[in-house]
Amino acid sequence: MAKLTFHGHSTFSLVTSDGTRIVIDPWFEENPHTDLTVDDLGEVDYIFCTHGHSDHFADALPLARATGATLVSTFEIAMFAEEEGIENVHPMHIGGGFDFPFGRVKMTAALHGGQVHGDESGRWTTVPAGFLFHVDGTRLYHAGDTALLHDMRLLDGMVDVALLPIGDNFTMGPDDAVRALEFINPRIVVPMHYDTFPLIEQDTQEFRRKVGNRARLHVMAPGSELELE
């Protein structure tokens, strides 16, 4: 059984039953919702990045250097990381999937910005993405930073646990997240990308009311864990 840990904002770590250690959208050093640093994480096998904005990518390269983890992201981000000296990268792109040793991962569409943090040359940009993980019998969808997309209907019946942004302003807000639930129909929804800054503060109890019986809402405090089953 895989175990998911929330580190605030959109940063999660995932440990699978075979001991594979995964970090999704690593943002630790400047993240106000965690006291962890890159040095605190220990061994990491894979780093998955949905896009290149600093609050999802700032610690990806330092973490890859410190651990030797394989960085998985869009082709452009992977090539930028390789240019920055990261030895282990795995490029993917929207709609593509790959059978990793721990399970299958598919890259899904998202609608957001394409800047790549740390690219001082200005040569690199990319499209944002989400990830659909198939691990230990559970289908986990990390939507990344995104607006509500009609393409989410394609995930209907394919997701057990959905990690959805609800902060509004930069991503979809609570109302659109509820519509996303109606498109996807997961068993469990975990809100993310909210309360980090004043612009994205949200009331999770009000979100719970709006979700109703569409899914089981699991609000994760930073540092809390969820066993995926």
With a pLDDT cut of 70, the percent of the chain lying above it is: 100
pLDDT for res 110? 98
Please write the tens of the pLDDT for every residue from 75-115.
Answer: 999 999 999 999 999 999 999 999 999 999 999 999 999 98
Give the chain's domains with CATH numbers: 2-220 (3.60.15.10)
- d(C-alpha 84, C-alpha 164), whole Å: 30
Closest CA to 49 of 17, 79, 19, 5: 79
Please write the tens of the pLDDT for every residue from 33-58.
Answer: 999 999 999 999 999 999 999 999 99
- d(C-alpha 84, C-alpha 64), whole Å: 11
| Partners of 125 in beta bridges | 115
Q: What torsion do the CA atoms of 107, 108, 112, 116 make, to the nearest 10 degrees?
A: 10
pLDDT for res 207? 98
Interval 179-205 mean pLDDT: 98
